[in-house]
Amino acid sequence: MCSHLPMDPLEEFDHLIIFRCNAFEFLQSRPTSDTERTEWLNTLAPVIVDAMTERLTAIKCISIPLRSKSDFPAIGLKLNPPQSDSPIIRGPRSGTDAGNQFRKFWGDKSEIRHVDGDLFECVLWNSSKNVTLQIVNHVLSKKFVFAGGTSRRPWYQVTSTRLNALLSPLLPPQTFIQFPPRASTLHLIRSVDQLNSLLFDLNKHLPLNIMGVQPISAEFRGTSVFAPILTIDGPPKRRANSLKHKSWRDVHEILRPLYVILNLETSGKWPRDNYQAFLHMKRLFLLRIHELLIHKGVPSRVIASGMLDIFVNGIVIRTSFCQPLEQTLLSRSLAVNHQKFTKATSESNQPFFPVASDDLHEWLLFNDRLPAVTSQLVGISRSYLNSFPEACRLAKRWLSAHGFPVIQCPDPCTEPGGLTSHSFDQGDADLGVAECRLSEIAVELIIVHVGSFTPPVRTSSYTAGLFGTNSENFASSSPLATFLRFLRFLYSFDWARQPLLIDLNEGFSEGEGREKADIAVTTFKVTPREDLPAMVLVTPLDLSGTDWTSRGPTVSGLKRLQTLAKHSYDLLRAMLVAGARLSDLKAVFRPDLSKMDVLITLKPAVYKTRLLEAVDIDLPSWTHKRSSDRSNGAQPSASIKEPSPVTLELPNPGARFWPKGYLCDPVTWSLRQIHVCFFLPSNLSKFNNVVN
């Protein structure tokens, strides 16, 4: 992926047609030499171009090299979304010479359709399958003569959506488990619009007007691995024992809040001398919104961290706001506490732990830098709707499958503190192997770079991480190709010696932007390397490059990730070239449990909330149905695929309603107990004393 490395065909092209070794045996005139095979592929390319029309931007006859020093002949396609996903090919008017040529080319696939008041020749494809795959199979079937009645094609295709099935679980047919309804991106956008209009109606009863709502969670830009689960309020279910105590065992899905930032008009009436008084006024403002929502039948709760949870359209949205004065008061308050703590520490001769700067850093990340970078990522996600979100989901899925889930931005653990000290046991940013974990913003920024979704940064002092001289032409329309680029870039880039510069909104373009980029590179070179995180991701919004990598990974953790990425890349590439099935491709997303020192197996009652997130779903025996068909020797039906996310308009359930199991995650709770027992220094010393 660096400038000195050639681009692999599986990373360069969005769609590949690979011919088997015996492909030319099906031809009437068999080419014998490599030159004749190349010439035959060149004659086949125009036919594919005629069939794909505007769906195609580039086509090239290539050879895919193998480790055995042999190669496979192939044809690479660069697609033009969203035309490439359209299930209909509209041809000329019926009855004309052009229409007859169109019907002659497509044969029985051509149909007459009434479009825009006239009759046109059209070809329809199955929208539930990859359209490019169907077109290529139809065209190539005319060029090959299948001998002996065989139906096995002498070619196979690597589609852009080859791994997308890993983002949707499959269930066996005979099971009691049901898929929960998930919200589509359109549903989330409409929910934010509904919340926006709802809060606008409250302005006449509020001391300050709410100007707008900005979503910041990954779900709103479609880059979370799984879409959020919808809570649909229905009639209460009758239970055998109505007095049965509710517990975590009754929770089947994890419900988490989605974060938004409220934009308020500025005012000079906020307290200017006391930070605690400012927080009191802030809490009173949220309490006022909570009171007004009660009269509208909208459930809401004010939480300890100084935010407001609002249940809108089946999801919980956690709202927050800040004022420019708040940063000044927080800095002043932390400086006073810092001086008192330093004086007390020096008098007691205890070690000094600076925490004031960390609190201010968390506040700035949450209230200033996170909204700024997410607004840029939302624009990229909307512009590359068919590739960027799915590529981010595949990268996060791969990290999570190997035990290194991304750190959510934001996470309940990273929320700025409020008036009272709230517990941080609802998030997982501080759990797991933190040295190997990346933040989800860091993952998405790397995807932006490797997918060429923004122009690469070139300056007089920086040429690292480039694809070559024509890197502007490598914008990817394939989630699979972008994921392969991500894996290769992760292990091949020299993170220790170079920062990665990612351009957002042309912030590093000509003029002052180039100067900013040069300053960032110079700052990286003069700063001691041990004072910087293992990965430095520089953007126009973060010239230091440390905002989204300070939590992880560490140097040792990055080396571990690089080793894993190289192994996964080599394995995935080899299986794709060999035409492996999806069940075999799952091996890339399976962790190597043999390298674990301790393996703790949870009971089904604990991990059932994460059951549908597994790569290989292993259902407990009590979830299987007893079917009479099995005794009759009937064939089992096919696996059940998770339905697509939905877009609904749900009424307000009433102010007293609140979703069951909200923020209840037994797996995270169990992990936190293990973390407290074995990884905190105080408890670890007690554990060692007991063992010794």
The DSSP string of 332-345 is HHHHHHHHHHHHHH
| Cis amide leading into 553 (omega within 30) | yes
pLDDT, one tens digit per residue, over 210-265 is 999 999 999 999 999 999 999 987 665 555 444 455 677 777 888 899 999 999 98
Phi, psi for residue 60 in degrees, rounded to 5: -150, 135
Classify residue 189: in a domain, yes or no.
no
- What pLDDT shows up at residue 186? 94
DSSP secondary structure of 160-188? TTTTGGGGS-EE-SSBS--PPPBB-HHHH
Residues 106 and 150 in one domain: no
Q: Do 81 and 93 belong together in one domain?
A: no
Contacts of 51 (CB under 8 A, 6+ apart): 105, 135, 136, 138, 139
303-318 as b/e, with b when 16 or more CB fall inside 10 Å?
Answer: bebbbbbbbbbbbbbb
Per-residue model confidence (pLDDT) at position 297? 92
Residue of 25 and 332 predicted with greater confidence? 332
115/7 same-domain check:
no
Do residues 66 and 15 both lie within one domain? yes
Task: Answer yes or no: is 75 within a domain.
Answer: yes
| pLDDT number for residue 616 | 83
The Cα angle at residue 436 between residues 435 and 439, in degrees rounded to 5? 100
Total domains in the chain come to 2
Q: What is the pLDDT of residue 355?
A: 41
Over pLDDT 90: what percentage of the chain? 45
Residue 69 lies in a domain: yes
Question: Do 113 and 133 share a domain, yes or no?
Answer: no
- pLDDT (0 to 100) of residue 70: 78
Residues 42-52 have pLDDT tens digits of: 888 899 999 99
161: left (phi over 0), alpha (psi -120 to 50) or beta: alpha
Say if residue 44 is in the same domain as residue 134: yes
Instruction: Using pLDDT thresholds of 50, 70 and 90, give the confidence band for residue 490.
Output: very high
**44 lies in a domain?**
yes
Q: What range defines the domain where residue 108 resides?
A: 88-124
Instruction: Answer yes or no: is 3 within a domain.
Output: yes
The whole-number pLDDT of residue 690 equals 34
For the question of whether the overall pTM of this predicted structure is more than 0.85, the answer is yes
- Domain assignment present for 227: no
Tell whether 26 is covered by a domain: yes
The mean pLDDT of the chain is 83
pLDDT tens for each residue of 598-654: 888 888 888 888 888 888 887 777 677 765 544 455 555 667 888 889 898 888 898
Structure confidence at residue 500 as a pLDDT band (50, 70, 90): very high
Residues 145, 31 share a domain: yes
- The reply to whether 103 and 17 lie within a common domain is no
Which of 72, 103, 124 is at the close of a domain? 124
The β-bridge relationship of strands 537-538 and 500-501 is parallel
Q: What average pLDDT does range 353-357 have in this prediction?
A: 45
Report the pLDDT value the prediction gives residue 475, as an integer from 0 to 100: 81
Q: Residue 77 belongs to a domain with what CATH number? A: 3.30.70
**Quick one: which of 188, 50, 62, 54 has its CA closest to 106?**
50
Per-residue model confidence as pLDDT tens digits over 297-310: 999 999 888 899 99
Query: Is position 271 within any domain?
Result: no
Whether residues 139 and 102 share a domain: the answer is no
My answer on whether 76 and 29 are in the same domain is yes
Q: Please indicate, yes or no, whether residues 42 and 145 belong to a single structural domain of this protein.
A: yes
* Length of the chain (residues): 692
50's tokens: 């005629």
DSSP 314: T
Q: Are residues 46 and 134 in the same domain?
A: yes
